[in-house]
């Protein structure tokens, strides 16, 4: 039976390390933020932190808090029917509840690390770097407007990513074996 794992956590916690690692090991990977970026491109808008925030909030206002999960459901189903699949960036509690109803075997893995470490990481990353002000605004927005805390608090497994990448991957491998 294939595995379906959603990796959750705040920006800069290291979610992409896990999802990229699993993708390299042959898993399908579905990036929730990609749905937002695709929507912006479809509308002819530049992909910026402000536009992403507005787009996330707009589609949820229109389609409900599970909007991104609803938009990606068919893609997830197809990927999961093929092989192990990892979801990168599930945001809201409603998205989790919606997907858990559709995919009973869905497992949540939460990546956490110290806030200051996250803030320094997002400032130097290659893809979508944020300055301190932008990441603070994003954190607060995701918690207040997107109900991001629910999946983080309710995760089946946790990886504490304050140490080395090797320690992180070792813990990820332990979790994958348990699932």
Tokens of residue 178, six digits:
């348990």
Angle between helices 32-42 and 49-63 (to 10 degrees): 100
Q: Tell me what pLDDT residue 56 has.
A: 83
Q: Could you give the residue ranges of the DSSP H alpha helices within the chain?
A: 15-24, 32-42, 49-63, 67-82, 93-102, 115-124, 132-146, 149-153, 165-178
Q: Environment class of residue 81 by beta-carbon count within 10 Å: exposed (0-12), middle (13-18) or buried (19+)?
A: exposed
How would you write the pLDDT of the chain (179 residues) with one tens digit per residue? Answer: 899 999 999 988 999 999 999 999 999 999 988 888 888 999 999 988 789 889 988 988 888 989 999 989 999 999 999 999 999 989 899 999 999 999 999 999 999 999 999 998 887 777 777 888 888 988 998 888 778 999 999 999 999 999 999 999 999 999 999 99
Phi and psi torsions of 65, nearest 5°? -70, -15
Q: What's the rounded Cα separation, in Å, for the pair 19 and 21?
A: 5
Q: Tell me what pLDDT residue 34 has.
A: 86
Q: Tell me what pLDDT residue 125 has.
A: 77
CATH node for 4-178: 3.40.50.300
Q: Tell me what pLDDT residue 43 has.
A: 94
Q: Tell me what pLDDT residue 4 has.
A: 98
The domain limits of the chain are 4-178
């Amino acid at each position: 039976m294939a595995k379906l794992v959603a990796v959750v956590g705040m920006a800069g916690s290291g979610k992409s390390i896990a999802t990229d690692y699993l993708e390299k090991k042959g898993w399908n990977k579905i990036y929730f933020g990609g749905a937002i970026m695709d929507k912006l491109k479809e509308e002819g808008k530049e992909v910026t932190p402000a536009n992403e925030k507005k787009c996330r909030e707009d589609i949820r206002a229109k389609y409900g808090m599970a909007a991104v999960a609803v938009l990606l459901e068919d893609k997830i189903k197809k990927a999961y029917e093929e092989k192990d699949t990892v979801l990168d960036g599930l945001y809201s509690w409603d998205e989790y509840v919606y997907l858990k109803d559709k995919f009973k075997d869905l497992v949540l893995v939460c990546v956490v690390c110290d806030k200051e470490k996250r803030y320094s990481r997002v400032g130097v990353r290659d893809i979508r770097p944020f300055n301190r002000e932008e990441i603070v605004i994003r954190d607060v927005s995701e918690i207040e407007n997107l109900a991001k805390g629910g999946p983080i608090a309710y995760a089946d497994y946790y990886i504490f990513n304050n140490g080395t990448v090797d320690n992180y991957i070792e813990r990820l491998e332990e979790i994958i074996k348990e699932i």
